[in-house]
Amino acid sequence: MTDAPLLSRRDVLRTVAALTTAPLQPEPEAPGRRSFTVVARKYTFEPEVIDVRRNDVVRLTLTSPDIAHSFTVDAYRIQKRVPPGGSVTFEFRADEIGRFPFYCSMRADEGCQDMQGELIVR
């Protein structure tokens, strides 16, 4: 048995309150890794620009709250589809410098052809 003093109920409650009300800080990303969530909805991508550095490993989560969409980047041979109300997560290495358009390749809804954005690799 130790001689350490016991905490009072008030001290315990203060400690719990301090821990539960502290703002959560996002974990810093590892060097060379970038994460993005892209929302595809009638008829836009949000965000429309993804800006990374050459050789970054890009982790992208694509979500769609409405209808099926895709995220297509021809230069990187990426074409990922997301179902209505779903999400898909994938990674790729941004190994080519430049500006690359991304778009929705789905043609079930006419407005999908207007969905465009840009991947910038510096």
Is residue 27, in this structure, part of any structural domain at all? no
Per the domain annotation, does 11 fall within a domain? no
**Domain assignment present for 88:** yes
Choice between 112 and 89, residue whose per-residue pLDDT is larger: 89
Kindly state whether residue 8 falls inside one of the protein's structural domains.
no
Total domains present in the chain: 1
93: domain range?
32-121
Q: What CATH number does residue 49 fall under?
A: 2.60.40.420
- The angle formed by the CA atoms of residues 117, 93 and 52, to the nearest 5 degrees, is 50
Identify which of 98, 35, 45, 37 has the alpha carbon closest to the alpha carbon of residue 72: 45
Whether residue 70 is contained in a domain is answered as: yes
The residue whose two tokens read 């400690």 is: 15
Per-residue pLDDT tens for 49-75? Answer: 999 999 999 999 999 999 999 999 999
Is residue 17 assigned to a domain? no
Does this model's pTM top 0.75? My answer is: no
Contact assessment for residue 45 and residue 117, using Cβ atoms and an 8 Å cutoff: yes
**73, 96, 120, 71 alpha-carbon torsion, rounded to 10°:** 20
pLDDT band at 30 (very low <50, low <70, confident <90, very high): confident
